[in-house]
A and B are shown apart, each in its own frame.
Chain A
Amino acid sequence: MLALVLLAVIPVVMWCTQSVLLARAGLPIRGRISAADLPRSLKRINRAATYLAFVVVLVAYPLLRGHNPLVYYRQFLPGGDRPWEMLYGASAAILYLVLLYLAWMLTGNVRFELRHGIRRIARSLGGAPLTALLAAGAEELLFRAMLLAGLLETFNTGSALAIGVIVFAGAHYVRSVKRYWTFAGHLALGTLFCVAFVCTHAIWLSMGLHAGGVLILMAVRPFVRYTGPAWLVGASIFPYAGLAGLAGLILLTINVWLGYGVTTP
């Protein structure tokens, strides 16, 4: 429960920071969390404050429970052969996404073309691996090593998994977003990561799956234009929100379940 409370603090911090920055920019304060019309320099401060809130919550959680943060998170990053799970997860996610994009390209449901200038594409591709690792690492620590691990101490596996999935999916809609129909995709995505964590009681596998997915999404984004219906292929960075993507996530979850089963911590 402590994890849930701490997670709930993050949107509050985000809203407070945004309100201060909006006031500083002479803009009206609003209820929804959106940095859309903030000047670029203030946007940067806003983003930094959000990341700082993530770090503070990550550190505060084990400290409030009387654990050393490093020791606490280290238990979810076991050594030996276990880091290979990350490679397995990344390869599996990449394989699914590449085959899906190939199928959609061959059938005219996505079009591959240069959407930006070469310099912007090079910058975006160059930063993709690091961004994928950082985004996946931060979210897996927050939602699996902290939240789900905490929920598993309080609830049975099914309930903990359900709450973990809903909170993970909901967290992607705390800020104002363009699309809300992608929620089912986030639920399926959350299920995959949570099952991976429950099966392995480590974040290597879920981090690999997460990072592999983010990597491909970032790598194809400057080239892909979705021409097929959203119900089939999703949209923008949400190919997993369409029917094919959802089916892919379900199959990948079965892969993980069959491959790793449930290990009792």
Chain B
Amino acid sequence: MPRTFGDRLILILMIGVAIVWVIPMLWVLAMALKPNEMLVSSTRGILPWPHTLEHFATLIRGSMTPRWLLNSVIVALGMTVLTLTLSSLAGYAFARIDFPGRRLVFVLVMAGLMIPEQAILVPLHAMIAGWELHSTYFSLIAPRVAGPVGVFMMTQFFKAVPRELEEAAQLDNAGRLKIFWSVMLPLSRPALTTLGIFTFLFAWNDYLWPVITTSQPEMYTLTVGLGSLQGNFAQTEGLGFLMASAVFASFPMLCLYVVFQKYIIRGIALGGGK
């Protein structure tokens, strides 16, 4: 279809917006490639030029960096798999199974959306301390799995699936679990992918809870570990290293986004269409 003038105008506008969006990221990359001493004097220049690779070399050669990377992968994957499992099961139950007290339980779960993370930090910390489970994968993953957002998202999705599909499966003598596994889950792939990506992203970037629950450097996630390397005036005397840490930590996410972007967009569009 030939582009109209309006299409071209929108395209130019979007390219302009994209450039404005990308400029700060280019600036971060440019600073990551400069020595710290140069950046104390000036932070000008948004076009990346490799004055030095020492910051990335320090990160890559860091003896704990692979361990922190592994911890982040384990925590993010673990959190994602468990969240998807629990959210899809709970979402299906709330959407399709009429059990006693369903409405009350759903309201209680959604009430969790109103409670900020900081409000439960202290009792959560005390609880995990009582179990002597701080600085473990359990303490890093488990508290985050009980997330109302995922349950809400999957509930809304399953509610929109036509009942006829389930009824057709029931006519073939399929039980609840089989209907869930063979019919509902495959249909919910876009929603699951979106939820999975957002959960993974959240887990990868998570800082506040991991920094409080991990006391041993071996259990730091990448964000906490890179933070522990920063000196007291990281934003001025250690700016190059700080920026390199940001690039290093976000690189896996960037790759993930490039691979899964069509699913993310589909998932957002699916949610927006309701």
Q: Do A and B come from one complex?
A: no
